[in-house]
Amino acid sequence: MASPFQTQTATADTAFALVAGDGGRLENRADVGLFFLALLGFDVSVHTLDAVLAAHPSGVTSSDARRIVAQLPPSWFSTGNNLQHHAFSALDTTGKGFLEPSDLVHAASQCAPHLPPAMLATAFSMLDGNGDGRLALGDVLNHGAER
């Protein structure tokens, strides 16, 4: 039976070959984004794409891709709540582990500036099950499980 690392490496090689072909490089956001989509089944944040490209200014090679995959959190390869986890992580731009109302307002200003602040405040309070003014990933996952 293959170890998780061997399985992830094989999957990385396959995803890399799909996007870059033999001997190619991932040279831009689109390439790296497609690599992660093929690897994980979901899009990663632009912040993640930019970090990968900054670490590999001449492009990501297949061996770079294997090293990147080896450093990814195991939860990225599990089934279940990946989409919610990554959406939450994209909103938690400071990495503090929770969201505040200002995080939601900032995100909305970037992708849905037409949403009124009162609507965002209502959505936040609906998800904030314990009313502490902080939205943890568990609050989001628990809300989804209750529906």
The CATH number for 126's domain is 1.10.238.10
Range of the structural domain that residue 86 is part of: 82-146
Domain match, 48 and 103 both: no
Print burial letters for 14-44: b (CB count within 10 Å at least 16), e (below 16): ebbeebbeeeebbeeeebbbbbbebbbeebb
Boundary-marking domain end, from 77, 95, 127: 77
**What whole-number distance in Å separates Cα of residue 66 and Cα of residue 16?**
9
Confidence of residue 59 (pLDDT cuts 50, 70, 90): very high
pLDDT at 3: 39
Those residues with Cβ within 8 angstroms of residue 13's Cβ, 6 or more apart along the chain or in another chain: 62, 65, 66
Counting the structural domains of the chain, the total is 2
Residue pLDDT, tens place only, 65-89:
999 988 887 766 655 555 666 677 7
**What whole-number distance in Å separates Cα of residue 130 and Cα of residue 106?**
22
Domain match, 65 and 108 both: no
Residue 133 burial (CB count, 10 A): 12
Boundary-marking domain end, from 43, 62, 77: 77
Domain match, 66 and 29 both: yes
Domain match, 72 and 21 both: yes
Boundary-marking domain end, from 77, 92, 116: 77
pLDDT at 47: 83
Domain match, 73 and 8 both: yes
Q: For the chain, where are the alpha helices, taking DSSP H only?
A: 4-20, 29-40, 46-55, 62-71, 82-91, 101-111, 117-127, 137-146
Statement: the pTM of the whole predicted model exceeds 0.85: no
Domain match, 89 and 73 both: no
